[in-house]
């Protein structure tokens, strides 16, 4: 069973506030948009997904290659993250 890491970070608390809405809208919790678009390569044979620069992701044959726009999209479709690149 895969449990994704928590996005809770107590060091983000500013001025003693614990307001969840403040943290949910914080820019530190949003994903960067630089490499996020199409940056995950899935292998339909092994049901694993890799970062675009992972050595094992680059070896996936074109017939088994599935591209994902986000990590959440890959997980929602039943793929597990690579244990080498840990996307």
Residues 67 and 73: their CA atoms lie apart, in Å, by 10
Cα of 82 vs its chain's centroid, Å = 11
| pLDDT attached to residue 3 | 63
Q: Of 57, 55, 56, which is closest to residue 40 (Cα–Cα)? A: 57
Q: What angle do CA 9, 15, 21 make, to 5 degrees?
A: 55
| pLDDT attached to residue 29 | 38
| pLDDT attached to residue 30 | 38
Cα of 16 vs its chain's centroid, Å = 30
Residues β-bridged to residue 48: 43, 80
Q: What is the pLDDT along the chain (87 residues), one digit of tens a residue?
A: 666 666 656 665 555 555 554 444 443 333 333 344 568 999 999 999 999 999 999 999 999 999 999 999 999 999 999 999 988
């Amino acid at each position: 069973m895969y449990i994704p890491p928590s996005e809770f970070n107590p060091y983000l608390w500013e001025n003693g506030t614990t307001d969840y809405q403040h943290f949910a809208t914080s820019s530190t919790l949003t994903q960067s948009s630089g490499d996020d678009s199409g940056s995950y390569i899935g292998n339909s044979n092994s049901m694993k997904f890799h970062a675009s620069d992972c050595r094992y992701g680059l070896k996936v044959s074109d017939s088994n290659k599935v591209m994902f726009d986000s990590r959440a999209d890959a997980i929602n479709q039943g793929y597990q993250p690579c244990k080498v690149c840990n996307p």
